[in-house]
Chains A and B, each alone.
Chain A
Amino acid sequence: MSLNEFRGRPVVLAFYPADWSPVCGDQMALYNEMLDEFQEFQAELLGISVDGAWCHSAFAKQNKLHFPLLADFEPKGAVARTYGVYDEKDGVCERALFVINTAGIIHWRYVSPIGVNPGANGILSALEDLKAKSETIGAAK
């Protein structure tokens, strides 16, 4: 999967340390309830951790997740490194959120303390901001 596939739509990229760890369970469960809100911005939500595809599949099934989980598994953490959110010491992704605009450029990023579920308010504000900017540009044309 490549982010290019989503060009033209905003992407919410949620890096998290691991499937099954308690906080991310909550965090992904929360985002899973917000797909309609993200959809209002035509935004695509993607979760990503260093867990493998089968682990993701079991985690998604258990929590009835309705959005894709990407495996940053081989080479391990390559995507997280590209975004500057790989925790070398523990060998996991940091708990980091990115909102990427329709042109594929990072519009907003937030790195949360690893044990703290950052919620979704920041993501919604970033999506609103993106929408307002694109409407301003649209109106100026």
Chain B
Amino acid sequence: MTKSLTLPDAERDHVSGSANGSIKLLEYGDYECPFCADAQPVVKEIQRRLGDDLLFAFRHFPLANIHPHSEHAAEAAEAAGAQANFWGMHHLLFENQSALEDKDLAAYAGELGLDATRLIREVASTAYARRIREDFRDGVRAGVNGTPTLFINGERYDGARDLKHLLNALTAM
């Protein structure tokens, strides 16, 4: 169980940045969602600009019926996380959104220098399904109604997701 539905939990979540960062950004997303893929380079640039002022966390919110690859992609990110490279896989998945078959996931694992056999075995057995579902349920309770949904310092952000607006919102608080 996460400590907060709307704030990063450095002990549980996949976080990037500084745990002491005064600005907290939490994304609920789906690797096969085109809007999430659009948001990814924006988030990356925000991380670059805000540096240690920012703590960023990503939770899974796969809409598996309309995005048939989203669950295996989330599993792949978790499986990469188990081999200490969640973020490497996270970025590759968004950057290669149109290629998310299991063979593609294995190739990304190879690219990252991970144990691809282990990763695919875990993906195929949905080893991290419980955690992914927990993310999803927490998202629903937090008021996530689609993807991506962003929370800035615990408040849902419903504004435009371009760099200017998002950066303004993050630094205004």
Q: How large is the interface on B (under 10, 10 to 19, 20 to 34, 35 or more residues)?
A: 10 to 19
Contact of B63 among A29, A37, A117, A124 (CB under 8 A): A29
CB pair B136–A33 under 8 Å, yes or no, is yes
CB pair B145–A27 under 8 Å, yes or no, is yes
CB pair B145–A119 under 8 Å, yes or no, is yes
CB pair B140–A37 under 8 Å, yes or no, is yes
In A21-64, which residues have CB < 8 Å from any B CB?
Answer: 26-27, 29-30, 32-34, 37, 63-64
CB pair A30–B63 under 8 Å, yes or no, is yes
The residues of A that contact B64 with a CB separation of less than 8 Å are 33
CB pair B65–A30 under 8 Å, yes or no, is no
C-alpha gap A29/B62 in the complex (Å): 11
Interface membership of chain A positions 63-86, coded 1 if the CB is closer than 8 angstroms to chain B and 0 otherwise: 111100000000000000000000
Given A26-B146, A30-B145, A30-B146, does the pair A120, B140 have CB atoms closer than 8 Å?
yes
Contact of A117 among B62, B137, B141, B145 (CB under 8 A): B145
CB pair A124–B141 under 8 Å, yes or no, is yes
Asked whether any CB of chain B lies closer than 8 Å to the CB of A136, the reply is no
The residues of A that contact B137 with a CB separation of less than 8 Å are 37
Asked whether any CB of chain A lies closer than 8 Å to the CB of B143, the reply is yes
CB pair B143–A33 under 8 Å, yes or no, is no
Asked whether any CB of chain B lies closer than 8 Å to the CB of A104, the reply is no
C-alpha gap A26/B144 in the complex (Å): 11
Interface membership of chain B positions 145-173, coded 1 if the CB is closer than 8 angstroms to chain A and 0 otherwise: 11000000000000000000000000000
Instruction: Tell me the count of chain A residues lying within 8 A, CB to CB, of chain B.
Output: 18
Contact of A118 among B63, B65, B141, B145 (CB under 8 A): B145
C-alpha gap A101/B142 in the complex (Å): 24
Asked whether any CB of chain B lies closer than 8 Å to the CB of A121, the reply is yes
Residue of B nearest to A125 (CB): B141
Interface membership of chain A positions 114-138, coded 1 if the CB is closer than 8 angstroms to chain B and 0 otherwise: 0001111100100000000000000
**20 A-B residue contacts at CB 8 Å?**
A26-B145, A26-B146, A27-B145, A29-B66, A29-B146, A30-B140, A32-B63, A33-B62, A34-B140, A37-B140, A63-B65, A65-B65, A66-B65, A117-B145, A117-B146, A119-B140, A119-B144, A119-B145, A120-B145, A121-B142
Given contacts A63-B66, A66-B65, A119-B143, 6 further A-B contacts (CB under 8 A): A29-B63, A30-B63, A33-B65, A63-B65, A119-B145, A124-B141
- 6 closest A-B pairs by beta carbon, nearest first, are A119-B145, A117-B145, A64-B65, A26-B146, A120-B140, A29-B66
